[in-house]
Structure 1
């Protein structure tokens, strides 16, 4: 028991970061699986983190209320900015959502009386426990699993395959894109709220371009072919700095390199059920 307590004292935050990063990877998986390249999830995470932390510190709100606010605030913001932006696609949507992230960062920097400005918020109560993170990941996975197996999940796949063809088949493209965008923002906000009550401190630079690229890398690395992909990718990206601790200053370069290599050699990510099925089929033929 003493060795377990020592391990948790040293690596407890890393273990819980595996959970919060899994939520972030799942949040961007929602938009990618619907054919949208959005880079706003870091900003949504920041909105959720600040909303939850401010409620806890300034108004003494219960932790459950703060978590709920951390999900609702970015979801409302996603619904507002989604009206004009979801009409865009590809790199244009990526640029628009990236610009939104910069707008959020500038607003945080210039509202010192509320957000602490460049100094951020310090002394946030450490209310996040391991079971909060685990329960959140399990619930989100169950919801997304049911969503993927439903009519909505099939609509997402159709939109990703061919938006025009999906529209001709009667799929409400705009409504489904908005749903994916808002749900992704809510999940990212939940991750931000949990993380804020885990690390004591949050600042505007934590939710900028570097964080956005990291979240995208997690999901692209794991693959969007299934829910296991984002979990796998987020685990690798979370543990990589611990393995290569001496190269921490090159983390952004490493993330970019990983993204390029995955796109070139594993375009569907590490977890690609169709590729593994083909391997098994070929192996069965050889044995026969």
Structure 2
């Protein structure tokens, strides 16, 4: 027992940040899964993460607010922004919506860069207290999964699914397309803001480069790679995409090449993602 505790202490001292990052990335993947579940391809989650990170960090640094209050501010701020931009932007669809939300992400990055007196500009914010503990991330993940699971099984969740399958048919059945899309967009922004605040209070430092186009694509890749047919898929995709670079670290210069090949192989041979309940049913069904 003592040997195990000693091993665990050594493991946690080295890999604690990686383990907590797994949970934070899972929250980000769930944030975009929620909008995808409503048929909305919005790529603003990295920007919402950034807004949440800066709002929570500034509340802590400038106003010495309790960690719980900083988390609340980090969720409310991107939700209000999502509500403001969602009203006009969600009139668009498909690639036009994706382009509009990508443009919004660039606007957020430029605003952060040009408000040095508040955000620190290109130098970012440093010295953020490390309040995030393992149980904060675990509790946040459990609550988000519980809420999304209940939402998915509710009348609103069925409306999301109807919109995703066929907007015209859903509208004819009386589903309010605009209200449901806006709800998914705002809730996704709140979850992304929560992840941003937890990350900011884990890493001590945040900068605008962390919330750009690359981060937005990474969040989308986590959800698509894991599979968007259930809540479990994005979590598996986040774990896979977070651990893969660490597992390939020993390959040195070839790490990124092998990483790319693995991702391409998964997309080609598992088009519905790593977690596909329909595929599992076919496998087990064929064995009977």
Shared fold, TM over 0.5: yes
| Aligned-CA RMSD value | 1.7
Instruction: Determine whether 1:206 maps to 2:210.
Output: yes
Residue by residue over 1:25-46, the C-alpha shift from the partner in whole angstroms, topping out at 9 and shown as x without a partner, is: 0000001111111110000000
Count of residues paired in the alignment:
284
Shift of 1:267: 2.4
Hey, what's the Cα distance between the residues in 2 that align with 1:266 and 1:71? 34
Aligned to 2:68: 64
Instruction: Determine whether 1:27 maps to 2:31.
Output: yes
Aligned to 2:168: 164
Hey, what's the Cα distance between the residues in 2 that align with 1:56 and 1:207? 20
Q: Which runs of 5+ in 2 are unaligned?
A: none
Do the aligned partners of residues 135 and 151 (structure 1) sit closer, same or farther apart at CA in structure 2, a change above 3 Å counting? same
Q: Are the counterparts in 2 of residues 220 and 259 from structure 1 also a CA contact under 8 Å?
A: no
SS at match of 1:87: coil
Hey, what's the Cα distance between the residues in 2 that align with 1:163 and 1:282? 35
Aligned to 2:285: 281
Residue by residue over 1:145-170, the C-alpha shift from the partner in whole angstroms, topping out at 9 and shown as x without a partner, is: 00000011111111010001000011
Hey, what's the Cα distance between the residues in 1 that align with 2:192 and 2:13? 26
Aligned to 1:92: 96
Do the aligned partners of residues 276 and 216 (structure 1) sit closer, same or farther apart at CA in structure 2, a change above 3 Å counting? same
Residue by residue over 1:72-117, the C-alpha shift from the partner in whole angstroms, topping out at 9 and shown as x without a partner, is: 0000000011011111111111100000000000000000000000
Aligned to 2:230: 226
Hey, what's the Cα distance between the residues in 1 that align with 2:163 and 2:170? 6
Do the aligned partners of residues 167 and 94 (structure 1) sit closer, same or farther apart at CA in structure 2, a change above 3 Å counting? same
Do the aligned partners of residues 170 and 47 (structure 1) sit closer, same or farther apart at CA in structure 2, a change above 3 Å counting? same
Q: Are the counterparts in 2 of residues 221 and 258 from structure 1 also a CA contact under 8 Å?
A: no
Hey, what's the Cα distance between the residues in 2 that align with 1:218 and 1:259? 10
Aligned to 1:112: 116
Hey, what's the Cα distance between the residues in 1 that align with 2:263 and 2:54? 29
Instruction: Determine whether 1:215 maps to 2:219.
Output: yes
Q: Are the counterparts in 2 of residues 217 and 258 from structure 1 also a CA contact under 8 Å?
A: no
Shift of 1:266: 2.3
Hey, what's the Cα distance between the residues in 2 that align with 1:253 and 1:119? 31
Instruction: Determine whether 1:5 maps to 2:4.
Output: no
Aligned to 1:130: 134
Q: How does 1:118-197 map to 2 (within 5 A)?
A: 118-197=122-201
Q: Are the counterparts in 2 of residues 217 and 259 from structure 1 also a CA contact under 8 Å?
A: no
